[in-house]
Structure 1
Amino acid sequence: MTDSNYPANEDAPAQKQRHETELIQWLRIPSISSYPDHKDDTRRAGQWLLDKFQRAGLATQWLPTEGHPIVLAETPPVPGAPVALVYGHYDVQPAEPLELWTTPPFEPTVRNGNLYARGATDDKGQLLTHVHSVCDWIASGESLPLQVKFLVEGEEEVGSQNLEAHLSDLADQLACDCVVISDSGQYADGQPAITYGLRGIATYEIEVQGPAMDLHSGSFGGAVANPAVAISHLISSMVDETGKICISGFYDDVRPIDADERERWTQLPQDESEFAKSVGVDQLFGEPGYTADERRWARPTLEVNGLTSGHQGEGVKTIIPAVAKAKISCRLVPDQDPGKITAAIQAHLDANKIPGTRVTLKADHGAPAMLANTDSPYMAAAAEAIRAGFGVSPVLIREGGSIPIVAEFQKVLRCDCLLLGWGLSDDNAHSPDEKFRLADFHRGIAASRELWKQLGECRVG
């Protein structure tokens, strides 16, 4: 390990400005992976990152897939030191509804210390903290105390299926001791966190088909089943009025929350009334017997993400619609299998469909939940790095969201996982006016610099 004090804990103003300018450049690229007409934009966002790595002198690879390319980069090996793999994604969610953005989603704008743009916190801003820390370190002329590899994909927002397909073939090239991922958040403003658990996911589209075409509701009403009513019935049959899921077998494999873990969570600075206020509701709702954090982090859910049927324009059109569709997602917890959940939902739909309708379940992407080893030396190194960067020791939490590839990393690469989130709960990821607080962007860079120092002191072999 170098004896140099580089990098210093505080960036020079000019360096901070460069870090922000480059982030703004990257955020201007509308890399929406789910939209075919943004295929070139998504590729351009990957190329932007590849170019930055190449200018910094990292060894790079552009890996084509059947979808969007994967960007690989690495610094030189350091014998006796761990290898850290940074994972992130350069694709972003769609920006609709556009009318709810204060400023256009791909015209990054700074307001009140926050940078507003799609992808600001999910995940370009957070990922770039690690890119900046490594590239700046190399530019200083000093050697990194460990090898850092980068794996950045363009399909996280659509399920990472192509990365998953390539992962086994890349296992030797990606071999590492820990994976570093910044695609989550702090527990609260001023309280950074290390996330050691993620829920899994299973997503679906339900289609209810009725008559062959839209019918006059006066001439046919009362004689033909209405698909919009039928799909509403199906949805209400899956979740009761308390939030409990009513699908037979859904909870069979759910791992109970450990008593010690529940006790630790009670020590967190949680205020459920403030949490409700922050999301604009007068009270929280969910499965009885659990706190909001327990329901968000360690209990499974079934949510309706979208509903479509019948006339959507101005005025009245009195019809029985021919078809109704719903998009749903389930967040899964440790030991739940997405395949078994699919079978349980299919059986429920078959048993509860209204006569005179045909119901189709289309499964999209799915991934199991994951838990990380909280006792590893890499976890301790990460905690010290966050304390140095943010001035506050982190708490250990789970996260209710899903990063589908993380469980695959554990299985294929057999490595520890460090989920270090710099974002805030009100950063509006996946929503209009997504933002990233610039102070946290710079704190994240400082924490990342310290992380390489701390991990470099962990001996291997």
Structure 2
Amino acid sequence: MAMSIQQYLAEHREQHLSQLLDFLRIPSVSTSSKHKPDVRKAAEWLADTMKQAGIENVKIMETEGHPVVYGDWLHAPGKPTALVYGHYDVQPAEPLDLWETPPFEPEIRDNKIFARGATDDKAQLYLHIKAVEAYLNAEGSLPVNIKFCFEGEEEIASPNLSPFLEKHREMLKAEMIVISDGPMYSREQPSICIGLRGLCGFEIEVKGPRSDLHSGLYGGGVANPITALIQLVASMRNEDGSIAVEGFYDHVSAPSEAIRKSYEALQDNEQKTADELGVPKLYGEAGYSFMERTTLRPTLELNGILGGYQGEGIKTVLPSSALAKMSCRLVDQQDPDEIFDLIEAHIEKHKPEGVTVQLIRRDRGKPYTIAPDHPYIEAAAKAYEAGFGQKPVFIQSGGSIPIVEVFSRLLNAPVVMLDLGLPGENMHAPNEHFHLENYDKGLITICSFWDEVHSQG
């Protein structure tokens, strides 16, 4: 990265931080109808800021919900085109009484910016705009072509983004998609996420008698839906922690040697993790470490269970129904619809007598992975080393961002996750914040990444 770019960023740092605080003051909570004008205001603020940075063809594009903000700079002939994605909407701030300072009155303290949306995703998105501004002001051009696609519905599962991508596929066409919307492994150890688990969420409803029954008059003679539900859920797990649903692992390959070695280098202390979580021992599929279980392997978890009397004291009834809320995290080539079918077949085979059982299909999303030796990932690794002074490790995330796989599939391009947040920055929680150390290092990393991609061709 040229010294002139570093000088520009240093000279304008306070101005840029002040501008970021203005962005964070906008309560762009996408899930709340009362904040719809604020989400629009954030989109307009973003469009104006992009224009000021020198980004061209900036426009606010309507969807069935909140708008998408688009812009581009396409004057690097023969060089790759990148599509930078981010989201300008934020989570609700409640509970407000747990915030040390108001969530939409950003404050810098302890070298951190505290505000809702600070790390997820306004600061990380903003860094990409400032990197472009620095290039254009210091060098007069960018080393690559860049398009921007910023949405206002990520925190409500992006219901209108897939149709938008389908409709504007030609406009958004690029050789890669770049996303900065998550944390690195740690403050001391930068990382590159090369995979996200997929997701399928569902409910299992068990019905028995028409209404609750007196447990003295009917207990022992009529099937109890809660008992039946517990038996059914228990049948889905083996004693060694593996999942007992027939065919569940059919499209799951063993983790690559490269990713397992990368994990070994992190030297996770599992007992320390157990102590921090307040549990006597960690649990999971035999033959895998805690980190491998929570990122590389699929899961089936019971998230909630409802049924019977929930009030104070005891009410001696035999309940008429019970409900389990469950989810699976998926890896490799697992498809959520196929997993739904396998679970439905398991239910049919194992359901207890005397009750009826229904599977209600909810959330779904496919897993995404990219090889650590992909040229753009290698470019990202060099960029992190330039920005943070240390080589990154390759990790896979235990979480799910379904839109990543959708981007890759619809635009037929790899996704590079250039995450610049840190664990513990209270994403989605009170006192969300973003480290200014990563603000500065993140800018160097982004600029270095574009230089590395330029040098590749």
Q: TM-score range by the shorter chain?
A: 0.7 to 0.9
CA contact (8 A) 2:4 2:139 kept: no
CA contact (8 A) 2:9 2:134 kept: no
Of residues 192-201 and 376-385 in structure 1, the stretch that sits farther from structure 2 once superposed is: 376-385
Task: Kindly report the root-mean-square deviation, in angstroms, between the aligned alpha carbons of the 2 structures.
Answer: 3.1
Residues in 2 aligned to 1:309 and 1:97: alpha-carbon distance in whole angstroms: 28
Match status 1:52 vs 2:49: yes
Residue 328 of structure 2 corresponds to 330
Residues in 2 aligned to 1:10 and 1:24: alpha-carbon distance in whole angstroms: 20
Residue 144 of structure 1: which of 137, 142, 145 is its match? 142
Residue 113 of structure 2 corresponds to 115
Residues in 1 aligned to 2:171 and 2:217: alpha-carbon distance in whole angstroms: 66
Seen in structure 2, the aligned counterparts of structure 1 residues 98 and 286 have a Cα distance that, compared at 3 Å, is farther
Residue 363 of structure 1 corresponds to 361
Q: CA deviation at 1:349?
A: 2.7
Residues in 2 aligned to 1:443 and 1:220: alpha-carbon distance in whole angstroms: 67
Residue 270 of structure 2: which of 269, 272, 277 is its match? 272
TM-score (norm 2): 0.87
Residue 377 of structure 2 corresponds to 379
Of residues 151-160 and 246-255 in structure 1, the stretch that sits farther from structure 2 once superposed is: 151-160
Residues in 1 aligned to 2:199 and 2:235: alpha-carbon distance in whole angstroms: 21
The DSSP-based 3-state class of the residue aligned with 1:398 is strand
CA contact (8 A) 1:156 1:403 kept: no
The DSSP-based 3-state class of the residue aligned with 2:170 is coil
Seen in structure 2, the aligned counterparts of structure 1 residues 106 and 341 have a Cα distance that, compared at 3 Å, is farther
Q: CA deviation at 1:287?
A: 0.8
Instruction: After TM superposition, list the pairs within 5 Å mapping 1:221-240 onto structure 2.
Output: 221-222=219-220, 224-240=222-238
Q: CA deviation at 1:289?
A: 0.3
Match status 1:199 vs 2:197: yes
CA contact (8 A) 1:373 1:417 kept: no
Residues in 2 aligned to 1:7 and 1:344: alpha-carbon distance in whole angstroms: 55
Instruction: After TM superposition, list the pairs within 5 Å mapping 1:91-106 onto structure 2.
Output: 91-95=89-93, 105-106=103-104
Residues in 2 aligned to 1:37 and 1:159: alpha-carbon distance in whole angstroms: 19
Seen in structure 2, the aligned counterparts of structure 1 residues 261 and 381 have a Cα distance that, compared at 3 Å, is closer
Residues in 2 aligned to 1:117 and 1:241: alpha-carbon distance in whole angstroms: 44
Which segments of 5 or more consecutive residues in structure 2 lack a partner in the other structure?
Answer: none
CA contact (8 A) 2:8 2:134 kept: no
Instruction: After TM superposition, list the pairs within 5 Å mapping 1:49-448 onto structure 2.
Output: 49-58=46-55, 59-95=57-93, 105-140=103-138, 142-213=140-211, 221-222=219-220, 224-240=222-238, 242-310=240-308, 312=310, 319-448=317-446
Which deviations, in whole Å up to 9, do the C-alpha atoms of 1:217-261 show, x marking residues without a partner?
566655555444444333333234543222121111112212343
The DSSP-based 3-state class of the residue aligned with 1:415 is coil
The one-letter code sitting in structure 2 at the alignment partner of 1:232 is I
Seen in structure 2, the aligned counterparts of structure 1 residues 9 and 41 have a Cα distance that, compared at 3 Å, is same
Of residues 98-107 and 267-276 in structure 1, the stretch that sits farther from structure 2 once superposed is: 98-107
TM-score (norm 1): 0.86
The one-letter code sitting in structure 2 at the alignment partner of 1:75 is W
Q: CA deviation at 1:93?
A: 4.0
Of residues 121-130 and 341-350 in structure 1, the stretch that sits farther from structure 2 once superposed is: 121-130
Seen in structure 2, the aligned counterparts of structure 1 residues 268 and 140 have a Cα distance that, compared at 3 Å, is same
Q: CA deviation at 1:301?
A: 0.8
Q: CA deviation at 1:369?
A: 1.5
The one-letter code sitting in structure 2 at the alignment partner of 1:420 is L
Seen in structure 2, the aligned counterparts of structure 1 residues 179 and 350 have a Cα distance that, compared at 3 Å, is same
Residues in 1 aligned to 2:279 and 2:415: alpha-carbon distance in whole angstroms: 34
Instruction: After TM superposition, list the pairs within 5 Å mapping 1:24-43 onto structure 2.
Output: 24-36=21-33, 38-43=35-40
Which deviations, in whole Å up to 9, do the C-alpha atoms of 1:346-398 show, x marking residues without a partner?
22233334445443322223222222143333223222221222122212222
Which deviations, in whole Å up to 9, do the C-alpha atoms of 1:265-304 show, x marking residues without a partner?
3233433334444545443221110012221221101223
The one-letter code sitting in structure 2 at the alignment partner of 1:268 is L
The one-letter code sitting in structure 2 at the alignment partner of 1:372 is I
CA contact (8 A) 2:240 2:286 kept: yes
When the two structures are aligned, how many residues end up with a matched partner? 456
Seen in structure 2, the aligned counterparts of structure 1 residues 44 and 247 have a Cα distance that, compared at 3 Å, is farther
